[in-house]
């Protein structure tokens, strides 16, 4: 099961980075667009997605992203308030990726008791599952805004798990007649 969880976190990173990189090419009026039923503008939604990802990581490790961990990953300052450049958000997702992968392979993390920032005690699987769900939910918000504006979505492969598997060459066609 740990391989499944590991791939789920890898997909989360891949899809979020692809979306951020796609959005980096958009003009300001598209980045500042929003539609009813979504979190906010594209820019606000991506910032929220990354900030929350860092928060879920902190709940699980009891460390802030800026605190040293024994994983050799460059440490980041806490995400500042207000607008953040998309290249900074991509940098932060790349820095978190190996950390999430380490947690996904930790056999004890799912049962570890964690305390949320608002004072709830939960088993570790809750913030881990929430990190995956939350990122997917807000990526969908951004895709909805893009679609409502008549813009194409990231291609080829889209952002779903099938697209990830294809992009990572985890899917291969079966020979016809097999």
Q: Which pLDDT score, from 0 to 100, does residue 178 have? A: 54
Q: Which pLDDT score, from 0 to 100, does residue 73 have? A: 44
Q: Would you state the torsion angle of the CA atoms of residues 37, 42, 46, 52, taken in this order, to the nearest 10 degrees? A: -30
Q: Which residue shows structure tokens 């906010």? A: 40
- Which pTM does this prediction carry? 0.88
Q: Which pLDDT score, from 0 to 100, does residue 42 have? A: 97
Q: What is the per-residue pLDDT across 94-128, written as a single tens digit (0 to 9) for each?
A: 989 988 998 899 889 889 998 887 888 999 999 99
Q: Which domain holds residue 25?
A: 2-167
Helix (H) or strand (E) holding 115: strand 113-115
Domain assignment present for residue 110? The answer is: yes
Q: By C-alpha distance, which of 114, 95, 117, 115 is closest to 106?
A: 114
Which residues of the chain carry a pLDDT beneath 50? 72-75
Q: CATH number, domain at 16? A: 1.20.120.450
Domain assignment present for residue 31? The answer is: yes
Give the list of residues 6+ apart from residue 160 with CB closer than 8 angstroms, or none: 15
Q: Three-state SS for 127?
A: helix
Q: Which pLDDT score, from 0 to 100, does residue 64 have? A: 57
Cα 161 from chain centre: 13
Domain assignment present for residue 131? The answer is: yes
When divided into structural domains, the chain yields a total of 1
Q: Which pLDDT score, from 0 to 100, does residue 82 have? A: 80
């Amino acid at each position: 099961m740990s391989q499944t969880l590991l791939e789920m976190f890898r997909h989360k990173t891949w899809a979020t980075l692809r979306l951020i990189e796609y959005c980096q090419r958009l003009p300001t009026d598209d980045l500042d667009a929003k539609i009813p039923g979504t979190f906010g503008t594209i820019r606000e939604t991506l910032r929220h997605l990354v900030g929350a990802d860092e928060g879920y990581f902190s709940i699980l490790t009891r460390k802030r992203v800026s605190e040293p961990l024994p994983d050799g990953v460059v440490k980041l300052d806490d995400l500042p308030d207000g607008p953040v450049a998309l290249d900074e958000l991509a940098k932060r997702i790349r820095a978190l990726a190996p950390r999430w992968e380490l947690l996904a392979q930790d056999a004890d993390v799912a049962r570890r008791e964690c305390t949320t920032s608002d004072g709830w005690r939960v088993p570790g699987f809750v913030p881990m599952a929430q990190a995956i769900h939350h990122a997917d939910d807000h990526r969908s918000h951004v895709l909805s805004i893009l679609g409502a504006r008549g813009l194409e979505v990231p291609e080829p492969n889209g952002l779903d798990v099938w697209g990830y598997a294809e992009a990572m060459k985890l899917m291969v066609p079966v020979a016809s007649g097999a």
